[in-house]
Structure 1
Amino acid sequence: MLLCRVSAASHALARWGGRSHRAGGLLRRAIPFSSSRCCAVDSGEGGSAKGQYRDTVLLPRTDFPMKLTGQKLLDRELEIQQECGFANLYSWQRERKAKKEFCLHDGPPYANGDPHVGHALNKILKDIRNRFEMLRGRQVHYVPGWDCHGLPIELKALGELGRSGLSPLQIRQKAREYAEGAIARQKAAFQRWGVMADWDQCYYTYDGAYEAAQLKVFKIMHSKGLIYQDYKPIFWSPSSGTALAEAELEYNPEHVSRAIYSTFPLITLPPKVVTERDIESVSVLVWTTQPWTIPANQAICYMPNAQYSIVKRADNSQLLLVAMERTASVAAMLGTELESVGTFTGSQLEGGVCKHPTIPDKEVPLLPANHVTMAKGTGLVHTAPAHGMDDYSVASHFKLPVECIVDEDGKFTEAAGPELHNLSVMKEGTDKVISMLKESGALVKEEQCIHSYPYDWRTKLPVIIRPSKQWFINTASLKDKAKEALQNVRVLPESAKGNLLAMLDRRTYWCISRQRSWGVPIPVFYHRDTGEPLVNKHTVSHIAELFREKGSDCWWELPIETLLPPEVLQKVSSKAGPVTDYVRGEDVLDIWFDSGASWAAVLEESDSRADAYVEGKDQIGGWFQSSLLTSVAVRKKAPYKSLLVHGFAISERGEKMSKSLGNVVDPDTVINGEKVSLPPYGADVLRWWVAESNIFSEVQIGPTALNSAKDSISKLRNTLKFMLGNLHGFDPLTQAVDPKEMHYIDQYMLHLLREYSMKVTDAYSEFDAGRVIRVLQAFITRDLSSFYFSIIKDRLYCQPKDSLGRRSCQTVLEEILDGLTRSIAPILPHLAEEVYLHAPGHDKGDTLFKTGWIKSSSVWRRPGLEEAVEGACAIRDAFLSSIPGKNAAQYNLTIAIEPSLLFELMESLQEEPSSTSSQLAELMMAARVNLTSQLPRDLPSDALLNHGTFLINLEGGVIREDSTYDIAVVPSSAARCPRCRRYTAEAADCLCPRCQTVVSQAGHAP
């Protein structure tokens, strides 16, 4: 063997393993071409000999269908699920022994509607990774779950009935029934999509055991002082009648507010303000987009380090106090010039006092504050502590009153005064306040302001900020620990980590109480007279056990004597009077606390962390954050090792999906089709769409994307069918050829298959199914269809059935088929199992997913192999470029290489000087190949000449050789063989020597 001689030439050659760097050697992958030399029956041609040798040619045979469409496709997918045990696969892999576990903790979808493409994107994305990990031998821990509580479910369950007249238990029963129906529909869809799980062992946030685990988290956090009750402003939804957390808000960027500029007359001039002119009747000018909060004003804030001016209006001589930086904008707004009367720093405003514009005898101070900005307004901020988070911070610092004059329905209370009482603050209440400012002469200007404003995520109506006595988590004390924990978490994409950290920074506290019935009750009792809460580790532990046994309905069903543990009952009775002096709380926990405690209820080990959490980008401020905060509070670490944050599914035009726009894509319709608009695509097309998408951006879906996915799978089926057809009758257990005895081109394909398997393994490990598809399609297009398949057809169809060359080729085809099938299995489980059922070498009842990942061997990478084949490919590129558009089989090729490493490599592919059947001739697809050290001098005049170089660079340059080669191409003088259609026959209608031998040995008459 010449490769041995090559190795002997240098010790380093024996260790060839580094990737070669060469010029032009891989161009053959980018040059699609077809060969017509395979056999006459392949195209129906052959002249007078047409069909004569049909029975002697080994054409592909398989009952694997080229296409599956319509109802046949749907039926076949369901048959595959049944036949290949999709329903039992998760349980099977949990019972097998595995060295490592892969835990993907499922974020619970909301149980309030039908499955949609957002569910498909998320669940299939998770399933692709789970199936990959299972195939590579890991034990997958994946328990699907549902978020079952909360306002949206309660509202949908009650419908038009509302809450009037219904007890909490009646409301809860209706909500539970609604959630159970939604769960059943979603679960059925997830199973149809091929998502692997034990669907009889899911988790539900309304399950008693789950609620008990949640209360254990509550107990630990409360005992650490992280959960407390307070009276402070929170987001309140008048349309829902409950407090909302930041994660339950949607910001409407097109919200229109009636913004106003209003004056607050200075009645006490700041002592440090000195001007050159006498000034009287100066008014502080403020700007707000929420005029209804003016009656609740307690102060006006300034920026201590900014410059402020008293300015005089040119049109009416009014004196106004504004920030110097905002003077030009204010002048433009007023439509008049402003003359500066005096300028000073903000700190000099200390001690100033203003008169409230609508409340007689009320005085408000000027106070410094860090939240004042110069982006809009006047640089002086109207401050109503009851209706703003920053305002509340100022009130806390300066001991200002926090008086709420707005009720739970968003209407002014009696405390707002008779003119405002019962008016809706966002509607007629705003009208009245503006009218009152006008009457007092304080209104300077009103304008429309389009800005981003928080809305209730479910009712889609504006929220307000109002103070309320609620239960809170002190996230400010957890923030630094949470940030530190995130440093040990891998986040994909990396940019999402910045968003996580930013949202943590903005969250100083987390309101966890909700004024609803459908949820986990906050386990607190209140003294009937004093309102003092009764909650401690003993009461919470006792209630948690009751919930575990009976479910949380028992909070309303059992008497307080049963809800309280004996030791607490005894203390209560002896200290504070009879237990009847206490009432149970009516608030429930925020659903983000529900789902955020899922790590405690679902992960098997109390100290364990999930390998991954995978959810949409909306969970950056939702489940990702609530899970992090609860886990850091209880265990001082994150509940996850990695986070994957994906985008949303949107319409093909890039629009958010909406029923009103008519652009909603229903995954059930994608799979089963509609009579007119869409054909049935099946589950694998939906899965391919997910895998192929750039999940880190918004993911578009529509007919274009789905048809593209369908076409891609059709091309893949074609490739798989070709290999299955050529493996007919092949038994890999008894007929496989040892790699060392294979043709070099076959060995080379095993080398490429090994590289392919490493690339797809890396891509799956990175949650990059899109890269898997790109690597798959490149391998099929360049390495298989355009290269290997076109070369081997002659060997497969025309060589003897049991010849070494044909069996060598079949061995490689079986390895490639097996590798490709396993590589697509996480994405296309139905197609993969269908192929496996048709593939040779398996026992009946075997399924692909129970037989592991791609089996590649380091033996497939042999010294000198890659250089020999790719050196030949470089020469072939030059050959094919000399005869563009013509049939390579009609030409003889002479290759001239001076004695060198390249010559020895080519000699390993063709030991004789001239051959029609060498491996080099097969690679070149020429009629005959002559290998020589120099071109002959007597070349015919019509010879086509070309020249090239091939660089061999191994071991980082230890072995480096830049070889030149010359080629000469002349038409073959031989006739075309009517059986194999190669130009190697002595005369027309005569078989070539190879085909004569094959036909005679097979007993066929010529």
Structure 2
Amino acid sequence: MFLCRVSALAGRRWGQAVGLGQGLGARRVAVFRAALSFSSAGDAAAAPGSGAQTPAEYRHTVLLPRTHFPMKLSGQKLLDVELQIQRDCGFEQLYTWQRERKSKKEFCLHDGPPYANGDAHVGHALNKILKDVHNRFEMLRGRKVSYVPGWDCHGLPIELKALGELDTKDLSPLQIRQKAREYAESAIARQRAAFQRWGIMADWENSYYTFNGTYEAAQLRVFQEMHSKGLIYQDYKPVFWSPSSRTALAEAELEYNPEHVSTAVYATFPLNTLPPKLTTMMGELQGKVCVLVWTTQPWTIPANQAVCFMPKAQYSLVKRGDDEQLLLVATERIANLSSILGTELQNLATFTGSDLDGGICRHPTIPEKEVPLLPANHVTMAKGTGLVHTAPAHGMEDYSVASHFSLPVECIVDEEGRFTEAAGADLQGLSVLEDGTSTVISMLRTAGALIKEEPCVHSYPYDWRSKKPVVIRASKQWFINTASLKDTAKEVLQKVRVMPESARASLLAMLDRRTYWCISRQRSWGVPIPVFYHKHTGEPLINKYTVSHIASVFAEKGSDSWWVEPLETLLPPDVLKKSKAGAVTDYVRGEDVLDIWFDSGTSWAAVLQDADPRADVYIEGKDQIGGWFQSSLLTSVAVRNKAPYRALVVHGFVLSEKGEKMSKSLGNVVDPNVVINGGTDLAVSPPYGADVLRWWVAESNVFSEVQIGPKALNTARENINKLRNTLRFLLGNLNGFDPRIHAVDSKDMHYIDQYLLHLLRDFSIKVTDAYSEFDCGRVIRLLQAFITRDLSSFYFSIIKDRLYCDGENSLGRRSCQTVLEEILDGVTRSIAPILPHLAEEVYQHAPGHDEGESVFRSGWIKSSSVWRKPGLEEAVEGACAIRDSFLSSIPGCNAAEYDLTIAIEPGLFFELVESLQEEPTSTCSQLTELMMASRITLTGVLPRDLPHNAVISKGSFLINLEGGEIREESAYSVAAVPISLSRCPRCRRYTSDTPDCLCPRCQTVIAQ
């Protein structure tokens, strides 16, 4: 046969010219639908073919599908089945089993710790299910998966929730810590139960918690290594400070409110001393010129130490048209300021910013204080006046100016966000963001320095937990010098695979923006910073000996020992001696705790157990670009100059069905527990089960924002039910088939069966690639396309007659069942990472398995390179091209009612089609089956004496072999005439010689 002589193919090809139809079309769907509507075992079933009833005497001889696999599961039955599958299939034991099996390849997905401050929500569901899908895929592929779930247990949010309305002044640190620990443990228990119900496979017996002593000890060892390298230091500098929480915050702990309203002011600083370069030009104006500044934070003016200008920008002396006041402003801002102030500003003189150097202003509210004009590159012309009021204690860039020019850094705000005594008697005790601001504005007005005040809507930092505004204030804190780490961090990040790639730019931008990292917090619930202070000098005692010793104490007794143990235990004589320190009585322990981002950022050192711990992938939401991704990177780079991960997967946030952020006040919060188990009103919130939740995750484009609601969940349920229907059809037609006994070798199969194995192999390769790229949405699209196009609309409609009406043990039927079993197995394994409950349910009903076997313990899709045979595609797809041409010529008619004559000019294409029908005329050839006609005659040319009612269609098919070396386009013609044969009462095909008599094929089957 020709199939044995054709060499490797260049891929699937559809050669199409004039006369070809529209491919494998929709009319096949209608043919197939009846086959899906079979009954369960013992029920009456519709006959194949046209759908008419088979005569009673032959009904029992038709091999209709039979299975106990239910078409649908809903309500409590669905929940019961899922829970039963988790028990029967050993979901809890699966992680341990796969860790104990022999495997050369390891795969590590390091779990970013969710915060232990409440119940599991849909954000958790998106994250944990996405991780589980990939873990299960890697496990099925034969890798030994390492996935240790963890929880972030420290921090202010847990402390606040644990304490509720209690007054912390009445509680000791240990009492606060005990209540916070109890609250975190309760939240962890609830979250863990939810994750397990979702089917998450993990090392639940050895989860990590950031409040465990061994974890805290590992964290301190990283701290000690970084401190030894000079990367951790104590300093007095401005930090983001939350008055509502009374603690410093890292930038990752901020939320920016774009609707925040500040009172902005335009205020003047009288120019007491003219800049030397402008003395000649403006000498006669001495004492008459004012520098105009703009600020959205008037409360910082009492802390002013300088006014900054841009050295290379142009500045002008202008005169107001309404009162002839002389102002110094940026030339570029004159037109805008004229509009804002409502008066003409006449430009009297223009000069370069560097000419302002040496000028000295008088402070507007502290007359005896003088402040210099200083150059600074952070000054911009986008807003304001081009001259920036500078308060080093209350601004990051202001502090940089102060460091360069040795200006005082005097904080005038306390921990509660109120003015201190240093701000003066008129301001002391006032909240800087409330009464303090209005009082400063009044002081400016009284001094004649207020030009204009106006509300300003702008983006402003808020405490991410209390949801209240923060301030910037200088205080003594512990910092990480990220400036010295950024270049290396960016370099190693370039070697990390980032998905989506667009997230890499955000990661790099975040690194650039972070000048230093404040890691100290003024709270009780956390890992204490291992530092002691001299009682009299205040000098810190911290070195590799003290930190290493404290780490060993924490490993044994936990960090509560910082408050519980006597100082002699924490600072024993040998440590003091190595530290060259004085007596233990000279020291007190520090009261600050470490930032929780340092807590979680050192998880790679505490959890990953390899000699050189590095995870294959981290998978988290995009909020972690400035959070865990970055803190993990910086700490790892600091200690060992490499990233803690080989790949990063960044997913989006979960929104409501309308694209809104979820909020209790809006009533659009979706609770995953309600999704699975149903709500109080089951008509409104029915139980969907865990697999629907998992399908929703997988089907979503997780690299963008993900929406959830009734519509999305109902769609997911419908899609799963459609999938169940296909799986049920496969199972029903495998009734009585055992692949271990009845399987047919692929070389002996019908070509259409071999072709489906070829398509199955192609599907399995693409699905494997999609899973490898963390693209679950593509997996589902591939699955749906394979089922709809290749199975339901094509293969199932063709093989139905052979399945139902051939002899039970015939080669043709067993060939078909062998392929159906391979398809069932391949589809089941392809959906298993996403739908583990459904996959295990199918596996329990599938043939060829012993009782108690699990799909997850039996490997990935088993496709074979043998299934891709030379010439196979051309033979089948060429026949399909002819079939589509024929079907398009008889729209709305039943193909089985026609007798076809197919004429193909001699050549390769004729040989290919001839391999499907070796006899010139046949009613039971593979070509007849493909055409779905009743009889086919294959010839080189159409006969001249065709009946007058013959329907003629023509076309051509292009054969392209060996990468284009063999190309041949062959013409074909199809003549369709109404069949003269009678309808067989058993198979309903027009293949009987006389009415009411069985066709030869059915006679043979019945006689057996």
Asked whether the two chains share a fold, i.e. TM above 0.5, the reply is yes
Is the 2:571–2:584 Cα contact (8 Å) retained in structure 1?
Answer: no
- How many residue pairs get matched? 992
Matches within 5 A, 1:604-683: 604-676=609-681, 677-683=684-690
For 1:755 and 1:721, the matched residues in 2 are separated by 23
Is the 2:86–2:837 Cα contact (8 Å) retained in structure 1?
Answer: yes
Secondary structure of 2:76's match? helix
Matched to 1:756, the amino acid is F
For 1:298 and 1:389, the matched residues in 2 are separated by 14
Secondary structure of 1:949's match? strand
Quote the residue 1:298 is aligned against: 305
How well do the aligned residues superpose, as a CA RMSD in angstroms?
Answer: 1.6
**2:900 equivalent among 888, 893, 914:** 893
Is the 1:732–1:840 Cα contact (8 Å) retained in structure 2?
Answer: yes
Secondary structure of 2:459's match? strand
For 1:48 and 1:732, the matched residues in 2 are separated by 31
Aligned: 1:230 with 2:235:
yes
Task: Return the offset for 1:606.
Answer: 3.5
**1:325 equivalent among 317, 323, 332:** 332
Give per-residue Cα distances to partners, 1:319-353, cap 9 Å, x unaligned.
11110111000000011111101000100001111
Q: Kindly tell me: are residues 166 and 47 of structure 1, through their superposed partners in 2, closer, same or farther at Cα, counting changes over 3 Å?
A: closer
Q: Kindly tell me: are residues 381 and 48 of structure 1, through their superposed partners in 2, closer, same or farther at Cα, counting changes over 3 Å?
A: closer
Is the 2:10–2:960 Cα contact (8 Å) retained in structure 1?
Answer: no
Quote the residue 2:269 is aligned against: 264
Quote the residue 1:154 is aligned against: 159
Quote the residue 1:10 is aligned against: none
Matches within 5 A, 1:666-815: 666-676=671-681, 677-815=684-822
For 1:902 and 1:824, the matched residues in 2 are separated by 38
Matched to 2:462, the amino acid is Y
Task: Return the offset for 1:32.
Answer: 4.2
Quote the residue 1:998 is aligned against: 1005
Matched to 1:662, the amino acid is G
Quote the residue 1:3 is aligned against: 3
Secondary structure of 1:29's match? coil
Secondary structure of 2:164's match? helix
Identity of aligned residues (%): 75
Quote the residue 1:977 is aligned against: 984
Give per-residue Cα distances to partners, 1:855-894, cap 9 Å, x unaligned.
0001101111111001111111101111122211111121
Quote the residue 1:336 is aligned against: 343
Is the 1:538–1:565 Cα contact (8 Å) retained in structure 2?
Answer: no
Give per-residue Cα distances to partners, 1:697-737, cap 9 Å, x unaligned.
11000000000000000000000000000000101011100
Matches within 5 A, 1:59-74: 59-74=64-79
Quote the residue 1:478 is aligned against: 485
Task: Return the offset for 1:279.
Answer: 3.0
For 2:979 and 2:14, the matched residues in 1 are separated by 34
For 2:536 and 2:412, the matched residues in 1 are separated by 24
Is the 1:20–1:954 Cα contact (8 Å) retained in structure 2?
Answer: no
For 2:379 and 2:779, the matched residues in 1 are separated by 51
Task: Return the offset for 1:35.
Answer: 3.1
Is the 1:28–1:787 Cα contact (8 Å) retained in structure 2?
Answer: no
Quote the residue 2:26 is aligned against: 31
Matched to 2:850, the amino acid is D
For 2:890 and 2:447, the matched residues in 1 are separated by 94
For 1:199 and 1:168, the matched residues in 2 are separated by 30
Quote the residue 1:363 is aligned against: 370
Structure 2 residues not aligned, in runs of 5+: 39-44
Secondary structure of 2:712's match? helix
For 2:110 and 2:21, the matched residues in 1 are separated by 43
Quote the residue 2:498 is aligned against: 491
For 1:209 and 1:568, the matched residues in 2 are separated by 21
For 2:180 and 2:822, the matched residues in 1 are separated by 54
**1:964 equivalent among 971, 978, 981:** 971
Q: Kindly tell me: are residues 48 and 742 of structure 1, through their superposed partners in 2, closer, same or farther at Cα, counting changes over 3 Å?
A: closer
Provide TM-score, normalisation by structure 1.
0.97
Is the 1:26–1:870 Cα contact (8 Å) retained in structure 2?
Answer: no
Task: Return the offset for 1:156.
Answer: 0.3
Task: Return the offset for 1:988.
Answer: 2.9
Is the 1:49–1:989 Cα contact (8 Å) retained in structure 2?
Answer: no
**1:86 equivalent among 75, 83, 91:** 91
Quote the residue 2:596 is aligned against: 591
Quote the residue 2:41 is aligned against: none
Task: Return the offset for 1:802.
Answer: 0.2
Give per-residue Cα distances to partners, 1:449-480, cap 9 Å, x unaligned.
11100000000000000000000000000010
Give per-residue Cα distances to partners, 1:617-675, cap 9 Å, x unaligned.
00000000000000000011000000000000110000000111110000000000114
Aligned: 1:205 with 2:201:
no
Matches within 5 A, 1:235-246: 235-246=240-251
Task: Return the offset for 1:52.
Answer: 3.2
Is the 1:561–1:569 Cα contact (8 Å) retained in structure 2?
Answer: no
Quote the residue 1:22 is aligned against: 15
Task: Return the offset for 1:162.
Answer: 2.9
Provide TM-score, normalisation by structure 2.
0.97
Give per-residue Cα distances to partners, 1:396-444, cap 9 Å, x unaligned.
0000000001000000001100100000000000010000001111100
Report which stretch shifted further, 274-283 or 469-478. 274-283
For 1:334 and 1:575, the matched residues in 2 are separated by 63
Is the 1:310–1:320 Cα contact (8 Å) retained in structure 2?
Answer: yes
Secondary structure of 1:97's match? coil
Quote the residue 1:279 is aligned against: 285
Quote the residue 2:145 is aligned against: 140
For 2:888 and 2:430, the matched residues in 1 are separated by 84
Matches within 5 A, 1:54-203: 54-203=59-208
Give per-residue Cα distances to partners, 1:921-970, cap 9 Å, x unaligned.
00000111111111111112221111111111122211111111111111
Task: Return the offset for 1:359.
Answer: 0.5
Aligned: 1:522 with 2:529:
yes
For 1:330 and 1:360, the matched residues in 2 are separated by 26
Task: Return the offset for 1:369.
Answer: 0.2
Q: Kindly tell me: are residues 874 and 47 of structure 1, through their superposed partners in 2, closer, same or farther at Cα, counting changes over 3 Å?
A: closer
For 1:565 and 1:321, the matched residues in 2 are separated by 63
Quote the residue 2:941 is aligned against: 934
Report which stretch shifted further, 919-928 or 32-41. 32-41
Q: Kindly tell me: are residues 47 and 510 of structure 1, through their superposed partners in 2, closer, same or farther at Cα, counting changes over 3 Å?
A: closer
For 2:910 and 2:715, the matched residues in 1 are separated by 46
Secondary structure of 1:930's match? strand
Report which stretch shifted further, 928-937 or 763-772. 928-937
Task: Return the offset for 1:575.
Answer: 5.4
Task: Return the offset for 1:985.
Answer: 1.8
Quote the residue 2:555 is aligned against: 548
Aligned: 1:945 with 2:952:
yes
Is the 2:13–2:874 Cα contact (8 Å) retained in structure 1?
Answer: yes
Is the 2:48–2:801 Cα contact (8 Å) retained in structure 1?
Answer: no
For 1:942 and 1:354, the matched residues in 2 are separated by 106
For 2:584 and 2:52, the matched residues in 1 are separated by 106
Give per-residue Cα distances to partners, 1:252-280, cap 9 Å, x unaligned.
00000001100111111112125489534
Aligned: 1:924 with 2:917:
no
Give per-residue Cα distances to partners, 1:890-910, cap 9 Å, x unaligned.
111211111010000000000
Is the 1:20–1:953 Cα contact (8 Å) retained in structure 2?
Answer: yes
For 2:122 and 2:566, the matched residues in 1 are separated by 45
Secondary structure of 2:791's match? helix
Matched to 1:775, the amino acid is L
Structure 1 residues not aligned, in runs of 5+: 8-12, 1002-1006
Secondary structure of 1:272's match? helix
For 1:276 and 1:966, the matched residues in 2 are separated by 100
Secondary structure of 2:24's match? helix
For 1:579 and 1:681, the matched residues in 2 are separated by 63
Secondary structure of 2:974's match? strand
